[in-house]
Structure 1
């Protein structure tokens, strides 16, 4: 309803296709004011010849513009002069009448001028609003096109790495190319899905649900149960999305490949708010960490990437045994993330 009212106000003054329609309606308003003034004669004190004519002038100016407003001012002035300034039924002329008409003319002129300038300012505001809306649409279109091209380029690089893998015989090199290709494809998908020109974030529960489901589907495992536990109303900043997604992806892939390589099980992703910030845990019920595992000396690429990305977010990444068996990858972030 409010937007409809704004649209109506932006259209003022109303300009009929035939200008005489505006003058006809203005005349009707003036005659209505005359009828109201005549009907109120018995309750009004002596004087007040213009009391019902000011609204007619204001409405005419507001609805139809300056010229019908001036016409209404002249017509209402003549009607009040003829019918309600004594001696009535004539056009008396003396100093008192001149002062009364001068006062009436000054008030009407101020009303018409104010309405005219307000409507002009309102029209300029409406034009600027439409221009800003068009610029915003163009910006959003260009931004999405840019994101689309960047994502496509990342997907192309990922595909080139996959093709290059076919010409590599060394198992470790093939695995490194597979990992790099998968990470690039993931960054491309996240960039296309998350970033928008308004800078708004995304609900972190929905983000984690979609991300982990994609990782599990890409692994081809159907014997692993995946659960997500995160607040409903927590918003993830766009610049945090890609590093967080890569860390979660590394943790889930690590749980699938090392914790549950030959049997089914469950992986739980939980996010909790603490006094110090945010704690994200990826826990599996697999075989757990080896007895001689030392996170300080472990030089695996996935762990190094996770530590580097956590540092980029001013957070801390750790990997330790879970309370009921298996392993837990933990990411601690400051609350501003």
Structure 2
């Protein structure tokens, strides 16, 4: 409602580009105020010559601007002097009449100045708001362009690493370059959705759905399904979204590469919820082959596992990998 009221006020004064209409309408208001004053004259006591004229001046100034308001003030002052200030229907001057006209002039001048000041301030506010809107739009465009360029640059670096990998003969070096290229490409794909120019947090469920779809698509296994089960209303800051995305990506990639090795079909479930303490519980569960015999996450030298644990500590959480009927990678924050 306040917004609608501000929009209506911004239209005044009316007909700024058609001043003759404004002056004509103001003159009509002056004549109408005289008719109203004549109608109530029979019930009015002596000494109120300006009743109906003050409102006419205020209304004309507010609706049509200072020029029409000054015109109405002059017309109404003359009509009040001639018709309602004794002796009626004369232009006789006396000390009392001069004082009455002076009092009228002071009041209408203050009214006109106040309305004019209010409307100028309102116009400045409108102009400033328009400038702010344009700056905000320009900033948002620049922000999105920057995000687009950062994402493209990450993907270019990932592509360069993939090209470099082809010229490396050492198996361990090739594997390290392949992992680095894959992670950079992943960050590049999801980077655009991580940050909002208005500083709003991400909806975790929607973010995980998009991330899961990207990861399965990158895995190249058409028979593997990724399902997201996230409690509604969980919001995520952009600073936490990057490490969480990398941890989830590592867990999903491991499930596709190791859990579903030799298989073309399987299911990965990403669950997100908050416990009674408000901590975020995020799990990646797959129905694959499980962990290798004798595998101990605590002593494993897996680079992906170490990366997940390091990222979890950075955001004040912990990461575990275990089998509870199904292989589960669990991230707990809080």
TM-score where L is the length of structure 1: 0.92
Moved more, 266-275 or 189-198: 189-198
Aligned equivalent of 1:320, options 314, 319, 322: 322
Aligned equivalent of 2:295, options 293, 296, 318: 293
Residue 248 of structure 2 is matched in structure 1 by 248
Alignment partners' CA distance in 1, 2:288 and 2:87: 107
Residue 90 of structure 1 is matched in structure 2 by 90
2:124 partner SS: helix
Q: Post-superposition shift, 1:209?
A: 0.4
Contact 1:289–1:326, Cα closer than 8 Å, also in 2: no
Residue 311 of structure 2 is matched in structure 1 by 309
Alignment partners' CA distance in 1, 2:18 and 2:223: 76
Alignment partners' CA distance in 1, 2:72 and 2:28: 10
Structure 2: tracts of 5 or more residues without a match: none
Alignment of 1:159 with 2:132, yes or no, is no
Contact 1:228–1:268, Cα closer than 8 Å, also in 2: yes
Residue 266 of structure 1 is matched in structure 2 by 267
Per-residue deviation, residues 8-54 of structure 1 (Å, max 9, x unmatched): 43343335445333222211110111112222234433432212111
Structure 1 runs (4+) greater than 6 angstroms displaced: none
Moved more, 52-61 or 290-299: 290-299
Residue 30 of structure 2 is matched in structure 1 by 30
Per-residue deviation, residues 52-89 of structure 1 (Å, max 9, x unmatched): 11121112211222222111111111112222223322
Q: Post-superposition shift, 1:215?
A: 0.6
TM-score where L is the length of structure 2: 0.92
Alignment of 1:213 with 2:218, yes or no, is no
Alignment partners' CA distance in 2, 1:272 and 1:209: 15
CA RMSD of aligned residues (A): 2.0
Alignment of 1:277 with 2:304, yes or no, is no
